[in-house]
Chains A and B, each alone.
Chain A
Amino acid sequence: MSSETPNYIVRFFIGKGGVGKTTTAAAYALKMAMKGFRTYIISLDPAHNLGDVLNTELGDEPKKVYDNLWAIEVDYEDMIKKHLKQLSDKIKDIYGYLKIFNLDKYVDVLRHSPGIEEQASLEKIIEIIRSYGEKNKADVIVFDTPPTGLTLRIMALPTISLIWIDKLMELRLAILERRRAITKITGEEFEIEIGGKKLRVPVDVAEDPIYKELINLKSEYSWINNVLTDPTKTIVALIINPEMLPILEAYRAYQFLTKIGIHTEYIILNKVLIVRSVPEELKPKINEQNKAIEEARRLFENKTFAEIPYLPKEPRGIDDLKDIITYIENIS
């Protein structure tokens, strides 16, 4: 897979908090690395424990943890700071005079804006796919995600942005059409007076900076949207425990992802109790578990399933993860 043209795949491991996303994602990443694919695993969860699972300290820069395997724990603070810096640089470009009064520091309050985490996370996903996937440094990019709610909002962002952009473009065209009509009837240029100066107002699509910027935005969001909705590139693995609540939540996530065009293929049942001779006290639990598994298989009828048993020891480090690989052989 190390050819000249980028030929990478992206995998998102999504699930309710505590179902074992990080462990499963790490085992999958290790499996792909052991097969010879240059693999990057990235934890996007603000409450990181990828470093704990791999038994090593991780940071914002890729750290080699095994042959062909690099791991990153995204520094959320830094990520939001970088995102804010981009925004505040733009604001400062426009309102450069604020520097005179040292008022630019107040831009910091933007960090508390609703939605800033989702926007910053999406920027990070884009940055990682561009830096490793598109530059042909990675064959496999694995994202260990925050709990379902936040992840879905991040993944919906390109679709939502594209809806906004399309509507704004439509509105812009209506504006330009009317401006053109007025210039045609009056035979005069369209002007506006700002601060006593008369300025020409664009009437054509080709000269309107707003329409041009909307086209740029559309192409940027379309790019990431195309990567996320291309099933030959991006696939979601849903991690569930054999209990009703995580299964129902996963099913809702699956429906949402399908609606925004993101393909879910793998359902990983983690922490399945496998007991040869079931003690009386455990029988109701095992019955519940069997019912939950049956329901999961019914809800996700045509999907690829993997089952990881409840392990006697919490997996920590590469050697423990190797033991899990056998259960996820069919996840590719």
Chain B
Amino acid sequence: MIKKSLLAKISDVLKGVFAGKSVEYISAELRELENIFALVLLGSFIGLPSPPSTISLRLLPYMGRELIVMTRVSERIDDMLGEMAGLFDVS
């Protein structure tokens, strides 16, 4: 009984570690996808080609989260390579 409970505890810890790591990976990927989505739609602000204006304007009202993500990423753009290296354990 004691053995089982110990195994269960170890399994929970491992699950937690793996879950934490995968959330970290997926979150980084999600953040980049949201950043790309905002950049593709509103890139004309920084001189990137963008879709016909009607499309950008129609989606703009719902872009709160993506705009925040884009701003955060742009603030830390110089550090992004370091963050990626950390994420994939590259030293």
Q: Write the residues of chain A forming the contact surface with B, with a CB cutoff of 8 angstroms.
A: 87, 90-91, 93-94, 110, 113, 115-116, 119, 157, 160-161, 164-165, 167-168, 171-172, 174-175, 178-179, 181-182, 185-186, 192, 194, 199, 201, 209-210, 213-214, 216-217
Cβ B62 vs Cβ A209 within 8 A: yes
Residues of B within 8 A of A174 (CB): 33
Interface 0/1 of B59-70, CB less than 8 Å to A: 111111100100
Who on chain A is nearest to B52 by CB? A161
In the assembled complex, B40 has its CB within 8 A of some CB on chain A: yes
Cβ A161 vs Cβ B51 within 8 A: yes
In the A-B complex, the 3 residue pairs with the closest CB atoms: A164-B51, A178-B30, A209-B62
Given A90-B58, A217-B58, are A182 and B23 neighbors across the interface (CB < 8 Å)? yes
Can you sample 6 A-B contacts with CB below 8 Å?
A: A94-B60, A116-B53, A157-B52, A160-B52, A199-B64, A210-B63
Residues of B within 8 A of A214 (CB): 59
Q: How far is the CA of A258 from the CA of B29 in the complex (A)?
A: 39
Residues of B within 8 A of A179 (CB): 30
Q: How far is the CA of A329 from the CA of B57 in the complex (A)?
A: 46
Q: How far is the CA of A218 from the CA of B12 in the complex (A)?
A: 46
Q: Which of B22, B34, B52 has the most CB of A within 10 A?
A: B52
Residues of B within 8 A of A90 (CB): 57-58
Cβ A210 vs Cβ B59 within 8 A: yes
Q: How far is the CA of A209 from the CA of B3 in the complex (A)?
A: 51
Q: How far is the CA of A110 from the CA of B55 in the complex (A)?
A: 15
Given A119-B53, A185-B23, A192-B68, are A94 and B37 neighbors across the interface (CB < 8 Å)? no
Q: How far is the CA of A217 from the CA of B57 in the complex (A)?
A: 11
Cβ B51 vs Cβ A182 within 8 A: no
In the assembled complex, B11 has its CB within 8 A of some CB on chain A: no
- Shortest Cβ distance from A82 into chain B, in angstroms? 13
In the assembled complex, B36 has its CB within 8 A of some CB on chain A: yes
Q: How far is the CA of A303 from the CA of B56 in the complex (A)?
A: 40
Q: How far is the CA of A277 from the CA of B26 in the complex (A)?
A: 82
In the assembled complex, B14 has its CB within 8 A of some CB on chain A: no
- Interface of chain B: mostly helix, strand, loop or mixed: helix
Who on chain B is nearest to A211 by CB? B62
- Shortest Cβ distance from A110 into chain B, in angstroms? 8
Cβ A168 vs Cβ B58 within 8 A: no
Residues of B within 8 A of A217 (CB): 54-55, 58
Given A119-B53, A161-B52, A178-B26, are A171 and B58 neighbors across the interface (CB < 8 Å)? no
In the assembled complex, B74 has its CB within 8 A of some CB on chain A: no
Cβ A164 vs Cβ B65 within 8 A: no
Residues of A within 8 A of B37 (CB): 168, 171-172, 175
Cβ A192 vs Cβ B65 within 8 A: yes
- Shortest Cβ distance from A127 into chain B, in angstroms? 14
In the assembled complex, B19 has its CB within 8 A of some CB on chain A: yes
Q: How far is the CA of A116 from the CA of B59 in the complex (A)?
A: 18
Cβ A165 vs Cβ B36 within 8 A: no
Q: How far is the CA of A164 from the CA of B59 in the complex (A)?
A: 13
Q: Which of A178, A194, A201, A216 has the most CB of B within 10 A?
A: A178
Cβ B61 vs Cβ A94 within 8 A: yes
Cβ A87 vs Cβ B52 within 8 A: no
Q: How far is the CA of A112 from the CA of B84 in the complex (A)?
A: 41
Cβ B63 vs Cβ A175 within 8 A: no
- Shortest Cβ distance from A203 into chain B, in angstroms? 11
Residues of B within 8 A of A91 (CB): 57
